[in-house]
Amino acid sequence: MSSKLRETRKSIDKVDREIAKLLDKRGKLALDIARAKNNRDFRAGSLVYVPSREKEVLKNITSSKSIFGEEALKNIYTEIISACRNLETPTKVSFLGPWATFSHQAAINNFGSLGYFIPADTPLEVLSEVESGRADFGVVPVENSNEGSVNVTLDMLVESDIKICAEISLKIEQCFLVKDPKAEILRIYSHTHALAQCRSWIAKHYPDAELIPVSSTAEAAKKVSKEDFSAAIASEVAAKIYDLYILQKGVQDTRENFTRFFVIGKVSTEPSGKDKTSLVFIVKDKVGALYEALEIFEKSNVNLTKIESRPTKKKVWKYMFFVDFKGHVKDQNIVKAIKSLERKSVFVKSLGSYPRA
């Protein structure tokens, strides 16, 4: 071994020890903050996670150029924040299961891998876990860029006091997973939607393989972990959980495929400076009522990013309108807009303000 190599490795060892000491110092400071919050008689699990503050931390560390790049720094610091958050009270997070789904991956991307994760069978079960206190937060899908809204998520938030605390935007990247990278592939397992999303890629690379639909992409990965001569189309996190090889990433035919998730909880999120608000309202039964309601946002200089209607399910042909707009419910122009909207509507409810993904 050359003397130059030895010296460089010694330097790396020294830097690693310095990083470990700084991480220890950061952890102790995080504990000081957690204890201060607990002294105010708040729920520890909920207050340890503050989306606006975490967004600020990530912005600070990515504001200057780094050899690692922004994405790598975000991933590293998400894990550091996760480790600090869990020093005193592990954050309990329910997600739409089973394990290794994209909802699970979204939860890990947001809370880090050190959280205490609880899979649930439906969005309503996720909500129940949070309402009961068995989970501090929940992660549920709300919208896909190609398929549209997840209506059950919208409907349940209208009926609950649980708030949206944050949003996660996850690129849906299907991976081709195998147990043995050298084995012949005779069968490909996945959910029917995932198989459809990867139809062209499969036809090009494995035209003779048998396509077998299963209940979820996670179930596909689980099957392949126990079978020879088979492959699964599933998420990257599924490869880690079921100890599979990623033969190729991004095998879906459409590259621009994102799913938006809500983080839901019992706490309201403070303004971060770049926020979004989700709100639902029902207009009065008169000509021009919807026009008058939407005009309020324009006059208040509020930028609507989404609007859609859903049946109220309480009266035939009666609709409620879901809107997303930039800003926080504590912003003065939005406070005025909501007050005006309340005068023009029979029902108005803010579902939560949160940092924009």
pLDDT score recorded for residue 1: 67
Task: Name the CATH superfamily for 175-249.
Answer: Periplasmic binding protein-like II (3.40.190.10)
User: Whole-model pTM?
Assistant: 0.87
- Band (pLDDT 50/70/90 cuts) for residue 245 is very high
Strand partners, 190: 213
Spell out a b/e string for 217-243, using b for 16 or more CB atoms within 10 Å of the CB, else e: bbbbbbbbbeeeebbbbbbebbbebbe
Q: Which residue has the higher pLDDT, 298 or 89?
A: 298
pLDDT score recorded for residue 48: 73
What integer is the mean pLDDT of 205-219?
94
pLDDT score recorded for residue 88: 74
- Band (pLDDT 50/70/90 cuts) for residue 50 is confident
What integer is the mean pLDDT of 62-75?
88
DSSP 3-state percent helix, strand, coil across the chain (nearest 5): 40, 25, 30
Per-residue pLDDT of 124-144, as tens digits, reads 999 999 999 999 999 999 998
Maximum alpha-carbon separation in the chain = 84
Backbone angles phi, psi at 13, to 5 degrees: -60, -40
Range of 88-97, 253-262, 338-347 with top mean pLDDT: 338-347
Q: Which residue has the higher pLDDT, 184 or 46?
A: 184
Nearest-angstrom CA–CA distance, 119 and 124: 12
Residue 282 has pLDDT above 50, yes or no: yes
Residue 34 has pLDDT above 80, yes or no: no
**249-258, 330-339, 342-351: least confident range:** 249-258
Per-residue pLDDT of 347-357, as tens digits, reads 999 999 999 98
pLDDT score recorded for residue 98: 86
279 in Cβ contact with 351 (< 8 Å) = yes
Nearest to 238 by CA among 223, 221, 213, 251: 221
pLDDT score recorded for residue 142: 95
pLDDT score recorded for residue 256: 85
Helix (H) or strand (E) holding 236: helix 236-241
Residue 85 has pLDDT above 60, yes or no: yes
Q: Hey, which residues are catalytic here?
A: 259, 261
The DSSP secondary-structure symbol of 1 reads -
What integer is the mean pLDDT of 72-79?
92
Q: Do domains 175-249 and 271-355 have the same CATH topology?
A: no
Nearest to 350 by CA among 331, 332, 333, 328: 328
pLDDT score recorded for residue 41: 47
CATH architecture of 271-355: 2-Layer Sandwich (3.30)
pLDDT score recorded for residue 43: 47
The rounded percent of the chain whose pLDDT value lies above 90 is: 75
What integer is the mean pLDDT of 167-196?
95
Burial class of residue 44 in the structure, from the number of CB atoms within 10 Å of its CB (0-12 exposed, 13-18 middle, 19+ buried): middle
Nearest to 188 by CA among 239, 254, 245, 234: 234
| Own/partner long-range contacts of 30-37 (Cβ < 8 Å, ≥24 apart) | 30/84, 30/85, 30/87, 31/87, 31/88, 34/87, 34/88, 34/89, 35/88
Residue 116 tokens, joined: 């205490």
For 3-171, give the CATH class.
Answer: alpha beta
Indicate the average pLDDT of the chain. 92
Sheet with 319-326: list strands edge to edge: 304-311, 319-326, 275-283, 345-355
Nearest-angstrom CA–CA distance, 173 and 28: 37
Domain positions in the chain are: 3-171, 175-249, 271-355
pLDDT score recorded for residue 271: 93
The rounded percent of the chain whose pLDDT value lies above 70 is: 97
pLDDT score recorded for residue 42: 44
pLDDT score recorded for residue 40: 54
What integer is the mean pLDDT of 65-77?
90
What is the number of other CB atoms lying within 10 angstroms of the CB of residue 154?
Answer: 20
